[in-house]
Structure 1
Amino acid sequence: MHPETPEVLAYLELKIAESQFTSTPDQLAADKRAQVELLAKRQFLLEQKILNSNEAQQVYLPDATLEEAFERIRSRYETAELFTKALSNSTLSPLGFKAALSREMRIDAVLESVSAQVEPVSQDTAEIYYYNHLQRFQLPERRQASHLLITVDDQQPESDQRVYRKLCGLQEKIQQKSARFDKLVLRYSECPTAMNEGNLGLITPGLLYEALDKALFKMQPGEISTPLRSPMGYHLLRCDALHPATRQPFAEVCTAIIESLTQRQRTKLQKDWVRQLGPG
C-alpha cells in the first residue's frame, strides 16, 4: 500500500461521513462507520482509475491554487491548533490532509477537462425542453400579505383568552376604518415586521403556519381575517394583493435551462468516460 493511502482513505471517510450522516467518522456507530469505510474504499479505487488515465497526465495543479484552497478550509477554524485537532480525530495530519486535497483537486480538474468537450446547448434546444416540460415552469397563486401579531405566554393559562379578546377588539376597529391597520400594527404588533407595516412579502402556498395559510388563500385583497392562532400567538392577517397562478415566460428561464442542460450533459460525459476506463 502506498504510504499516502491511509490518509487519503481517512480524508474520503471524513467527506463521506459528513455528506451521508452530517457527522465525523469517529462519532458514528459501528455499522455506519463500516458503511463509510466501504464507500471510501470504492471511491478510492474509482479515483485511482481517473488518476491513472492519460488525461490525468496532462493536468497541472499550481501550488498556489492548492495553498489557497487549503488556507480557505483552515481559516474556518479559529486557530491552527483547533484545525490540527479536528484532523487528528479523523487520523489525519495537516500534511496528509493537504496531499488528499491536492489529489481531489487534480481529479476534479481531470473531470472538468473531460466534460469541457460537451457540445454547447442551443437556445432552440432549450426552447424545445421548455415546451415539453411546461409544468416545471408554473408559478402557483401567490398573495401579498401583512399581519399584526400578539404573542401568547403559554406559562399563563389566561394569556390565550386575553390576547384573543385584544385581537377581536383591534379587528373591530380596523373594520370600522381600514386605514387604521398600519397604525395599529406599529403600535401593537410584536413581530419585527411591525417596523414595515407588518409586511410579510409575497406568499406562496405552504409558507405560513397552517391556519394562516388556509385563511389567506381564501381572502380577497383588502380583507382582514378574524384572529388566527399559531404557535407564536394570535394574528390579524390582511390580504394586500392577489397574484394568480401563471407560467414563467421562456425568455425568463432560457439561461437557467441552458445551464441545467449543459450541466446534465457534462455529468453524463464524465460518467461515460469513467465507465470506459480500464482497471486502475
Structure 2
Amino acid sequence: MQAYLELKLAWELFQRAPHALNDDERKRLGKIALRQQQLEQAILTSREAAQVSVPDATLNERLATLRSRYPTQDELDAELGGIGLNEDSLSEAILRDLRVETLLEQVASQAELASDADAERYYRDHPDAFCRPETRTLRHILLTFNNAREQVKALALFDRLRPTLVDEDSFAKAALRHSHCPTAMQGGLLGTLKRGQLFPELEPSAFGMDVREVSDAIESPIGLHVLRCDAIQRGETVSFNHTRERILEHLNGKRREAAQKAWIVCQLARLQSAKSMA
C-alpha cells in the first residue's frame, strides 16, 4: 500500500500530487512512506486491530476529500493509474489508513487523564509561561540620513517639531508629513509592542516613557527617531483558574502522545521479534 501512502503524504507534506514533485522531494517522500508502511504493518497486525471497524460514512468522507483535490475525475484516475491504483484499491488503502487512525485514537484514549493537582504543579513549575509581558502602544517619526550634514538637518527638524507634538493627533499629522517610514501612512503607529521587538537603541526610551510622553531624538541603525507612547499595558501573571483548562488540555495531549508512542514501540518490537524467529 506504499503507493497510496505516497499519494497521501505528497499532499500532506508538499500540497502537491506525487507526479508534481521534484527528485529531492520524491526521495524524501519515498523514505517517509516506507517508514509509515512499516509502522502500519506493526499496528494492523496487533491483537487490538482485530476489533477495529470504520463506518462507511467515514470512508466516503475521506474519499470525497481526496477527489476534491483534482479538478476532474479523469485527472484523479490518471494519477491513480500512474501509481498502480484504481478506485477499488484506493478504497482498500484508505480503509487501511483509517483503521490505523482509529486504533491509535483508541490507544490514546486509554491514557490516564491529568488531574487538577497535575495542572497546578505544571503552573507552579512553569511561571514564565503564564506571564503576560508589559506592552506599549507606540508611534514614531523616522528621519533617515546619508551623511553628517543630513543628520544635522534632521536633528534641527526634530527640535522644531517637538514643541508641536502636543497630542496623538498632532504627532500623527507630523508623522504623515515628515516620517520616512511606511508607518507614516498610519500616523507613525508602530503598534502594541513588547520588549525585544524594537531596535535595542530605542527600548530604554520606549519602555521608560509615561503615556502621552514624547522622546528626544534617538539614533538607530536606520536613522533618527522620535517616539510617542500612546498607551501602556502593564504586565501580569495569568491566574491558575483562568488557564486551568488550557493546561489540562496540554497535559492530556502530551499523555495521549506518550501512550501512542509507547504502544507503537511495543508493536514494532513484537513484529521484529516475529521476523527474527521466522
TM-score calculated relative to the size of structure 2: 0.70
Q: Are residues 1:10 and 2:6 paired?
A: yes
Counterpart amino acid of 1:112? E
Match of 1:169 among 157, 165, 168: 157
Q: Are residues 1:106 and 2:99 paired?
A: yes
Counterpart amino acid of 1:271? K
Match of 2:133 among 133, 140, 143: 140
Q: Unpaired runs of 5+ in structure 2?
A: 273-278
Q: Are residues 1:80 and 2:72 paired?
A: yes
Match of 2:52 in 1: 59
Alpha-carbon distance, 1:127 to partner: 0.8
Q: Does structure 2 retain, via aligned residues, the 8 Å contact 1:7–1:91?
A: yes
Change (3 A) 1:165 1:58: farther
Alpha-carbon distance, 1:46 to partner: 1.2
Alpha-carbon distance, 1:48 to partner: 1.4
Once structures 1 and 2 are overlaid, which stretch shifts more, 233-242 or 198-207? 233-242
Q: Does structure 2 retain, via aligned residues, the 8 Å contact 1:12–1:40?
A: no
Q: Does structure 1 retain, via aligned residues, the 8 Å contact 2:6–2:29?
A: no
1:144 match: secondary structure: strand
Match of 2:121 in 1: 128
Change (3 A) 1:83 1:133: farther
- Mapping 1:174-193, distance limit 5 Å: 174-179=162-167, 180-187=170-177, 191=182
Match of 2:241 among 251, 255, 259: 251
2:217 match: secondary structure: coil
Counterpart amino acid of 1:52? T
Change (3 A) 1:192 1:243: closer
1:276 match: secondary structure: helix
Match of 1:265 in 2: 255
Match of 2:215 in 1: 224
Count of residues paired in the alignment: 263
Match of 2:275 in 1: none
Whole-Å Cα distance in 1 between the matches of residues 82 and 217 of structure 2?
A: 57
Alpha-carbon distance, 1:166 to partner: 6.2
Alpha-carbon distance, 1:132 to partner: 1.9
Whole-Å Cα distance in 1 between the matches of residues 152 and 96 of structure 2?
A: 63
Once structures 1 and 2 are overlaid, which stretch shifts more, 102-111 or 158-167? 158-167
User: How big is the alpha-carbon RMSD for the aligned residues of Structure 1 and Structure 2?
Assistant: 4.3
Match of 2:271 in 1: 279
Q: Does structure 2 retain, via aligned residues, the 8 Å contact 1:114–1:270?
A: yes
Alpha-carbon distance, 1:257 to partner: 0.7
TM-score calculated relative to the size of structure 1: 0.70
Alpha-carbon distance, 1:208 to partner: 3.9
1:114 match: secondary structure: helix
Alpha-carbon distance, 1:130 to partner: 0.8
Q: Unpaired runs of 5+ in structure 1?
A: none
1:174 match: secondary structure: helix
1:65 match: secondary structure: helix
Q: Does structure 1 retain, via aligned residues, the 8 Å contact 2:137–2:191?
A: yes
Q: Does structure 2 retain, via aligned residues, the 8 Å contact 1:18–1:24?
A: no
Counterpart amino acid of 1:127? E
Q: Does structure 2 retain, via aligned residues, the 8 Å contact 1:149–1:234?
A: yes
Q: Does structure 2 retain, via aligned residues, the 8 Å contact 1:138–1:246?
A: yes
Whole-Å Cα distance in 2 between the matches of residues 10 and 160 of structure 1?
A: 62
Specify the structure having the higher radius of gyration (Cα). 2
Q: Does structure 1 retain, via aligned residues, the 8 Å contact 2:142–2:224?
A: yes
